[in-house]
Structure 1
Amino acid sequence: MNNMTLTMVCLMPILAMVNMLFNQTHFLMTLLSLESITLSLTLFVPLMLMNCTASNTAMAVILLTFGACEASLGLSLMVSMSRSYGNDMLKSLTSTKC
């Protein structure tokens, strides 16, 4: 595999985490950042296992399963939050309405 491709795949989880740190205004953007972290790890883990000559491809399937569960839970939380508060702003969760 090309060194440039391997470097990009190694940087993808880090860039996704930085994206999550800076996009925390809307709940949907946070969910998209979490999904990009999951997808980048789905690419990253099997490639690193191939470099270590370990043929454990079940790890990618496990990561994809967790990604699907995370996406469905996040979507249900966003729907319930938008029904309760009327928007998906994360700042509306922290304010007390007494």
Structure 2
Amino acid sequence: MMIFSLMISGSLFMVGCGLWSFMKYHKHLLNLLLSLEFTMLGVFWLMSVQMSSVGCESYFSLFFLTMAACEGALGLSLLVYMVRSHGNDLFNSMSALEC
């Protein structure tokens, strides 16, 4: 039972660190994408631990992991577009009138 609570607290720590880095380092798009992926991995780990403790099948957690991978691919494509159009990934260099 101690391992179960340690795994839950580890996944909650991952989610907390991901959200903290999302709020703290928001100047570059790449930093935001990495912190979002770290948060999604923490949520996936928490979901997997909870579903394995209940005894459910893990189809929903695999679907969640697939959606997180699609979100990461979409974010990277936006990053490439932003770097090609603006020259960098700083949010301060963007303007809503330029897009």
> Which TM-score applies when normalising by structure 2?
0.84
8 Å CA contact 2:29–2:89 kept in 1: the answer is yes
User: Corresponding residue for 1:7?
Assistant: 9
1:40 matched residue in structure 2: 42
Alpha-carbon distance in structure 2 between the residues aligned to 1:17 and 1:11: 10
1:36 and 1:24 map into 2 onto residues whose CA distance is: 15
Residue in 2 aligned with 1:87? Answer: 88
Unaligned runs of 5+ in 2: none
Percent identity between matched residues is: 29
User: What is the distance in 2 between the residues matched to 1:27 and 1:83?
Assistant: 13
Name the count of aligned residue pairs. Answer: 96
Choose 9-18 or 25-34, whichever is displaced more.
Answer: 9-18
Contact map agreement 2:7 2:49 (CA 8 A) in 1: no
TM-score by length of 1: 0.85
Distance in 1 of aligned mates of 2:81 and 2:65: 24
Residue 66 of structure 1 aligns with which residue?
A: 67
Measure the CA separation in 2 of the matches of 1:10 and 1:54. Answer: 21
- Distance in structure 1 (CA, Å) of the matches to 2:95 and 2:21: 21
Structure 1, unmatched stretches of 5+, are none
